[in-house]
Chains A and B, each alone.
Chain A
Amino acid sequence: MFFNSLLTNFAALEVGQHLYWQIGNIRLHGQVFLTSWILLGALLVFISLGTKKMDNDPKGLQNLLEFLWDYIRDLARTQIGEKVYRDWMPFIGTLFLFVFVSNWGGALIPWRLIKLPSGELGAPTADINTTIALALLVSLSYFYAGLSNKGWRYFEYYVHPTPIMLPFKILEDFTKPLSLSFRLFGNILADELVVGVLVFLVPLILPIPVMFLGLFTSAIQALIFATLAAYYIGEAVEEHH
């Protein structure tokens, strides 16, 4: 009895329901784009405000942005290496900011107050399309980084240190985007579901620690995603002898 009602409750959370946009022949998940536009718009406004009047002697928002920039540079530099980190820093930083803003935006803003005809607004990273898109971009990036830096010698990586590694390394090219996308998707969706279920069952106090845990997880996931992306690129451009 209880289980049945729980299932119905789950259904009330509208898991896997989407707001479809039909453009010609293609169908889009509207809620993902809506939230991402709102969040990215806020991010861009924040950044333009912070970089509007840049000074050699930083004040206010500029301090925060410089801290962020320094953090991203350290991340890219430690993973990719001194030589090419500059080329990839914007990409790694964008991944970090996009994932972070999406995760936190999804967790912090009470999207439930905005009613959609179908589906609900939430973190863009809780949609598998977004995470796969990010993960495939990472895959393309590390291939591009390897090929552009080392030419065909990039493929030595597959038989390094012994040719026995070849099948595993090829397999890795598939598991990397798979694990990247599913880790992020699973974590964020699970967080949203846990909070949703708890709010549904015990609407008072109890969900708050879980919400904080969710914020923590969201930040950690952004860091993990950016770090792994940088690590993969670093692995591709690394010179081994």
Chain B
Amino acid sequence: MFMKSRSRCSGSFLKTPVIACLVLFLTASLSARAELLIRITEGAGSAIPIAVVPFAESGSMPAGDKVGSIVQADLTMSGEFRPLEPSKMLSLPSERSEVYFRDWRMLGQRYVLVGQLTRNGDRIQARYELFDVNQEKRILGETAAVPASNLRSLGHHISDRVYEAITGAPGVFSTKLAYITVSGEGEQTRYRLQVSDVDGKRSKVRLESREPILSPAWSPDGKKLAYVSFETGKPVIFVHELATGERQKVADFPGLNSAPAWSADGRSLLMTLSRDGNAEIYRMDLASRNLTRLTDHWAIDTEAAWDHADRGIYFTSDRSGGPQLYHMERPGAEPRRITFGSRYNARPRPSPTGDYVYYVHQRDSAFHIARTNLETGEETVITRTGSDESPSVAPNGRLLIYATRQNGEGVLTVVSADGGAAYSLPASEGEVREPAWGPVTR
């Protein structure tokens, strides 16, 4: 069920550096064929009890999941909350005057969320209030409105507000994931770059190709993805505007063009190129396409990411004999090695607050996600699965998504940043890999 591609594929188009449409089918939107399913595997013991009361409704509501159940699922998914089943509720209040704190205390709840939805033409408005049960106090009271077709966005928005009111950290339920799915074998193999909600719902195929697609990376405004595509027979870096489907080929040098990573201002990309002989890290100014070389070593240097201060970079280098993480304090500075715990540590991803760096770590024969505390240098392995790859930190620093294998199939798993609670997102068909957690956009 292909919808009309919104990218232009005319002849003159190919003469410009803006490229598209050779061996692949661009799709602005596609069926849910490779939808991710959600499977909660583990909840943290310390999860906070909260009652998300089903919202009262006036006027006709669209079919599908209710706002209350979306919020409940989001909070459960975070691993930090343990929502009460609606069937155990003694009453279903929708505003403050109907909330009897004693009842909720008796049910062991610390917070209660109530609300009402009103249909207003094409839009649906929500009024919602969050109460602290012990203090008998309202800690959040707001209204929000969305087009009727967009109830999931409303649910995720409310989850974000509740999460922030209670934990103090911004919620990430309205953010997006980008990932690659692979299905079919041999000639039938198809690689798809997809974007979905963080619960795997509302997935859309953004690019489909017979050749591998790798390393999706979100621009800081969430409007573009950079990635590596083999559609021309070799790795080439593209920047893809999500709203229009327009793509630009930004790096197509001889040899490798890989591992794109955006700067915080969205104006430049770090990338790995081997145009000067072997894999080195460069910074490309996107407006001028000017390149600045940042590393110069006979070893492999790759997988660069800006540090949280956006001044220096983390990267992988095998200059010590095997892949290890390095930090370059500012471009041109002497890199400092930061991992020593095992013979294989690669693909650094710093937390947004700068306290940790996450990476792929080999221990015995298995690959896990580990993190190093940048202050103390202490290393902790945070995943228990064994073929773990591609860590990507949520923009609030509290969750991490990575790719792993379960029962022989590739799945994405989300864990809390310390490795506690988890949920996984298996593909309904084929494999899913290379998750990239999108930014918070307002």
**Does B associate with A?**
no
